[in-house]
Amino acid sequence: MLKKIDHGPIREIQLDHPPVNALRAPLINALRHAVDDARNEGVEALILSGAPGYFSVGLDIAYQMKQDQQAANLVFHEIFAIMRSIGTSRLPVAAAMEGHAVGGGAMIAILCDYRVMAEGKYKVGLPEVHVGLPIPPVVYHLVSRLVGPRLAERLCVEGNLVEPDEAEHIGLVDKVVPTEQVRETALSWCQRMVALPTRAMRLTRAASRTEVAKLLATFDWEELDELAAGWSSQETQKALRAALENIGKESAGEDTYDYKSANIQRAQHTQNRVQV
C-alpha cells in the first residue's frame, strides 16, 4: 500500500494502490502511522507522492458503497486522522502531485507545507458536494487559508476542479513543473528546509502553522460521526449511484460523463472494471 524511499534525512512516502490510488481505511491508516513514526526514525522532512497520473483520486467510492455504516465511520475517522497527522507534524511535508488530486487526495495535499503538481490535463479540488457530501467547516477554512475566502467558497460550494496552471495562479499549489520534475522539485524544497538552522526553522514553521493546528483541533469526533452518518442518506446514496453510472457510461464510450460528478474522475472507470 505504501513505499518508503529515503533520500538521506528526507523520506518519501509513496501511495501504492493501483490503478488510481483510491483511498480505503487500511491505506489511510498506514499512511498516518508512517507520518507519525517518521520523526522518531530520524527523518527530518517528508515527501508524500503517488503515481504518474494519479496522486490520489480520493475515497474509493465503488468499494465503500458495498460497506456498512460502521465502515463509513471508520474511513471518515481515518481521513481526518491523517489530516491531523500531516497538519500537526513537526516535520516539513511536501506533496509531490504527479497527476489528479481530488477529494481526499486534495485534502492530504492541502495539509502539506508545499505542493508541487505536474503540468498537463490534471485536476485538483474538492467535488464532494456533487456526490451529496458536505464540505466540513474545517476543510473550507483550510482551503481559505491558501486561496482566500471567496475562491474557497467557489471551490467548495460549487465543487470546482481546477487544472494545474489555475491551481498555481490561485495559490492552491505552489509550483507546476513537468511530470518528470515533480519529485525532484519536492525533494529540492525539502533539502532547502533541512539545510536551515533547525531550531529557528521549526519554531518559525510552527508559528506559521498555528492556524492549521487550531482549525484541526476544533473538529471533534462527534461532529465527524454526524458527517459520516450522511453517507447513508438517501440523497447521498442517490448521488453516488448516479456518479458510478456515469463512470460506467463513459467506460462504454458514451459521451455523457461529467468530470465533476464524483471524486472519481476521468479514467477512473479503470478502477470500476478492476474493483467493482
Which of 59, 58, 56 shows the shortest CA–CA distance to 67? Answer: 59
pTM: 0.88
- All three cell numbers of 216: 484541526
The average confidence (pLDDT) of the chain is: 88
pLDDT in tens, 233-256: 888 888 888 878 876 655 444 433
pLDDT at 270 exceeding the cut of 70: no
pLDDT at 160 exceeding the cut of 60: yes
d(CA 215, CA 205): 16
**Which of 34-48, 58-72, 202-216 shows the lowest per-residue confidence on average (mean pLDDT)?**
58-72
pLDDT at 176 exceeding the cut of 80: yes
- All three cell numbers of 104: 481526499
Radius of gyration of the chain (CA): 18
Structural domains for the chain:
2-228 (3.90.226.10)
pLDDT at 228 exceeding the cut of 60: yes
Instruction: Write down the pLDDT at residue 248.
Output: 61
- For 203-230, b/e burial (b = at least 16 CB within 10 A) is eeeeeebeebeebbeebeeeebeebbee
pLDDT in tens, 77-120: 999 999 999 999 999 999 999 999 999 999 999 999 999 999 99
Q: How confident is the model at residue 218 (pLDDT cuts 50, 70, 90)?
A: confident
- Average pLDDT of the residues in 184-200: 98
The residues that bridge with 11 in the sheet, in sequence order, are 6, 46
Parallel, antiparallel or unpaired: strands 45-49 and 2-7:
unpaired
* Percent of the residues in the chain that have a pLDDT greater than 90, as a whole number: 72
* Residue, of 221 and 238, whose pLDDT is higher: 238
Instruction: Write down the pLDDT at residue 222.
Output: 76
* Percent of the residues in the chain that have a pLDDT greater than 70, as a whole number: 89
Instruction: Write down the pLDDT at residue 249.
Output: 58
